[in-house]
Structure 1
């Protein structure tokens, strides 16, 4: 399964992303809890709801997260409660994305990221190492390798073909000139059929996009008398 390495890489990257986001949000909640708890402690000591320098100093001293002691503050906010507007003190951490991210535990996501990149590098190395072997042991032409009765791209990806498409492409690849007469193809593929012109036309029509997608080749017709597999 040639797509398996890329599927595993994508899975590891997704795990890294989800773990990172989860850790970031958990840190946001911890920060919110810390500033709100500090504000509650300040209001107990200073119930007059007046924000002064001493209030801010006391508020920051109540914080347990050291990174917030220089940025956290208290603001007056007008909110609607029970159909009435009222003013209340609100705790604010005042730390940006970068600060929150640095405070979050990204070890797990970093491990997933490292594992994913390592897997990708190893997969690319393996594919690159196998490529010369495919070309050396198989028949290569225009980006298609015929090896062990299978058609593959230079990267080792198998080209999916129907039995008839496989037989036709094998005839093209193994031919010295890569050119086949219409009669020769019909005799090989449909020996018992008196006239297989329409069937051959349909087969050529369906295999063309497959060949052009996976290689630098195309099938060229010579007035319906013969077909050639040539490089674009």
Structure 2
């Protein structure tokens, strides 16, 4: 499957992202636990519900994460409890996303990311190495190659056609001007059918999207008298 290497790359990137987010969230939880534990220790030593310079100094000294000692603080918050408003001391880490990310262990996600990049480079090399070679033999026009009674793109991908579509495209490709009259097509494809206009119209309508999807060509009608295979 051509898309399998890219599916593998996307899966590895998703794993790296989920692992990194999980590590980041665990670090946030550790920071919250550290500041709350430090506040509990401070309140045990200084039971007064007053924040002073000594309270902040003692609070920061109780922190175990060194990076928080310059940013962590204590704030007064008003909360509703049992229908009454009361003030409460709340510990705040006040650290940025970058600080939290640097504190988190991103080794696992980094390793997966590295493997993913190696996978992508290997996949690109494999796809490029196994890309079909350009066909140089056969009759070529507008990105379609006719060789060994088969129609292919210039990269070697076969264009699947019904027998009638194959015959019509062969007529277009082999014609010097790539232009065919309606009568010429009907006489060649349906020699025993008195009126094949409707059948021809259906055939043209169905082959048009196939040609346009695999080449730089399109079929154009000249006032219903003839059809031309021309460049878009």
The two structures have a TM-score, normalised by structure 1, of 0.76
Specify the alignment match of 2:92 in structure 1: 92
Matched position secondary structure for 2:70: coil
Distance in 2 of aligned mates of 1:93 and 1:188: 84
Deviation at 1:78, TM superposition (A): 0.9
Deviation at 1:41, TM superposition (A): 1.3
Corresponding residue pairs, total: 230
Instruction: Say yes or no: does 1:129 pair with 2:129.
Output: yes
| Aligned pairs (5 A) from 1:1-232 | 1-131=1-131, 133-136=133-136, 141-143=141-143, 151=152, 154=155, 163=162, 167=166, 171=170, 175=174, 177=176, 179=178, 181=180, 182=182, 195-232=195-232
Comparing 167-176 with 50-59, greater Cα deviation is found at: 167-176
| Residues 26-45 of structure 1 deviation map (CA, whole Å, 9 limit, x = unaligned) | 21111111111111111111
Distance in 2 of aligned mates of 1:112 and 1:14: 9
Deviation at 1:187, TM superposition (A): 7.1
Matched position secondary structure for 2:166: helix
Matched position secondary structure for 2:51: coil
Change (3 A) 1:70 1:176: farther
Q: CA RMSD in A?
A: 3.5
Deviation at 1:88, TM superposition (A): 0.5
Distance in 1 of aligned mates of 2:43 and 2:191: 96
Change (3 A) 1:125 1:61: same
Unaligned 5+ runs, structure 2: none
Deviation at 1:135, TM superposition (A): 3.6
Distance in 1 of aligned mates of 2:19 and 2:146: 43
Distance in 2 of aligned mates of 1:91 and 1:210: 67
Indicate conservation of the 8 Å contact 2:38/2:59, yes or no: yes
The two structures have a TM-score, normalised by structure 2, of 0.76
Indicate conservation of the 8 Å contact 1:143/1:216, yes or no: yes
Indicate conservation of the 8 Å contact 1:164/1:189, yes or no: no
Larger Rg: 2
| Residues 171-217 of structure 1 deviation map (CA, whole Å, 9 limit, x = unaligned) | 37964758364567667777886655434433433443444345433
Deviation at 1:112, TM superposition (A): 2.7
Unaligned 5+ runs, structure 1: none
Comparing 57-66 with 144-153, greater Cα deviation is found at: 144-153
Indicate conservation of the 8 Å contact 2:74/2:91, yes or no: yes
Matched position secondary structure for 1:133: coil
